[in-house]
Structure 1
Amino acid sequence: MVPREVIAYVQRLRNSGYSAQAIRQNLIASGYTPQEADQALLSGFRPMVMQQGRNWKPLAAGIGAGTLVLVLMIVLLVPSGPAFTVSTQPSSAEARAGSSISFSERFVYERELDTDELEVIHELVAPATGNLIFSVDQRIPISPAYQTKLEIPEDLQPGRYIVRTIVTADGHTAESSFSFRVLPPAPRQTVQVPTVPVVETPVDNQAEEMPAQDCNDFDPCTDDSFFGGQCVFEQLPVCCGDYICDFNLGETTTTCPRDCAAQPAAKSTAEIIAEAEQAAVRAPETAELLCTTLAQKTDADQCYDTVARIGSKSATCQKISDSKTRDKCVLYFAIHKSEYTGCATIGDPNLQSSCYSFKNLGEIQQNLPQAPAE
């Protein structure tokens, strides 16, 4: 004899549109034997079979569920091709602080756009920290190529930086980036700065020369001296300290390690993501910081999604910039981790509905009476 509350449970799920197979699996997962589950299904579905008139509710629920599954498959599995792409190429791999970096932009349009302008954002980013130094916004007419120049702040610290270009048009977005090295500002030219009034004296009674350190201009590329009542700064033929290794002038790792020290090799995107995966379990914050060093937003989104799942930290999903990838990440935690707090943040209506459906199913399973112990 099937308990009345179990029959009521089967009928409630049936009226909500769940299939007999899904209800049977839930019963078995709750501790009922396959035979008991089959008997409960037979008792729970019998009233619907014996009705004289046709009951359209299960049919409508089945059609709705099938439509939802079809929409989910389209959203999750069918990719949408880009409307256009952009690539950037710098004219030089190095530029000094206080100067500018020039680069070309090339656009490939896969289909006709409904606008005649592109919205372009250029960002200067420090990859070591992920900090945004500055950004420049502009609107330009649609064209296959452009030449662009960005001014580099004079007080920017020497090192490697990334120029990231983000192009938006007609609801579509494309990105490109390149890295370059920022060198210290150009050395100052030789100048003479009067320090004391010049007094005409005989040559044999020339004033005593002042020590060179009193005329120090703190430029490693000049030879500082005091002559004739003036500080004189002469440009050195070989400058150790300008972060440029002049091999042709004799600079080596031995004679000038400051300029010629080997630069650490930049890590590839795959290496950074792999390192973030390893850190995700023991140090999620460190893993997220590694994701911020990726210049391409698509790579960073992949990194955040991977870190969230491996580290079982659903909050990391909210760092993903692409809405579709972010929605899938949140839905993953609803399906596999029974975390439903992020359902409200899902932007796609169909995926959000699925998230709440899993939440409701979880609540029903919690209220299901357990099978009696044998």
Structure 2
Amino acid sequence: MIALSFDNARVLRPEGWDDQPLSMAGGRICADPQVRRVDLAGYDLLPGIVDAHGDGFERHMAPRRGALRERDAGMVAVAAELAANGITTAALAQFWSWEGGMRGPDFAAEVFAAVAAVAPTVPVDLRLQLRLETHFLDGFAAAEAAVARWGIGHVVFNDHLPHDRLAAGRTPPRLTGQALKSGRSPEAHLALMQGLHARAAEVPAALDALCARLAARGVTMGSHDDGSADTRALWRARGARVSEFPETREAALAARQAGDAVVLGAPNVVRGASHAGNVSALDLVAEGLCDALASDYHYPAPARAAWRCVELGILTEAQAWALVSEGPARLLGLTDRGRLEPGLRADLIVRDSTTRRIEATFAGGQLAFMSGAVAARFLS
């Protein structure tokens, strides 16, 4: 572990900015020790980003379909990209779905194995989130076994079946492309979806039982793309107290009123609108209906989204940064990070005060990333 004291930087504490020195030793933030001092005048120190949901790792694990199977090397690259964007804790959101391909159980098992192999060797805290398709009934037992085997502490439920089309006997959109990704013919892929849709009556009871078992394990559970207050209430009754990317204000408000955590997409904030036409994350943030901003599919987005909220006058810098640090740490049950306070993990980023470019990242007191002019401060 690195022992250092950082002087003359602006430090973002829970109550706001101050200019008091910040020290770390033994992997923790600590009271000022007698250690080497680094002058960081012109730089900001902020808590490391906690990413509650991101699948940007996929392009490193499978850059071209079927071309590479160097999963461990890909995960090392993921850790490096996370650190370069100030992310010190990352929940890697991996599907367990009937959709197959990169969303199927076989690929998921490779991702889980790569994280298990690489996580102990990199500073960034790599964690797993399993995204389970609600109608993949035949995959529930194996998914539950994977949660136990790999120590997965976060399960989120999705439903990507086009029920309206299937109920009307119509061909779902983009069928051919999705079938190719799954390795199936369009006819076989359609037949699979029709079969899953036909068993819809079995799903509620199966989910009730599965959620009860996961809750007994202490697994954090959430639902994805809640569209209404009623949907959120159903998941809450099962113990799924995280609402990821609610599609409507109604769903987000229902979550907040019931004390559930709300995760929104940082790319949505950066864009100023949902790419899928759902409720604007910026509007929900402005209403106070957000606990965490997640990278979703783009690791640079959380840091940029936090600043965007400040640029627009929606939040103070302390409030905005809490949505990418303290807020997501809390909903993941990680009480040892997310703030720059003595005794907590030394997860912090060094940002140029003028350009707002992240030039160094420390995770658990270890150097995870450094680039640019700040290196001279550490090397001199």
TM-score tier, shorter chain, comes to under 0.3
- Which of the pair has the greater relative contact order for Cα pairs under 8 Å at 6+ separation? 2
Structure exhibiting the larger radius of gyration computed from Cα positions? 1
TM-score (ref. length: structure 2): 0.24
TM-score (ref. length: structure 1): 0.24
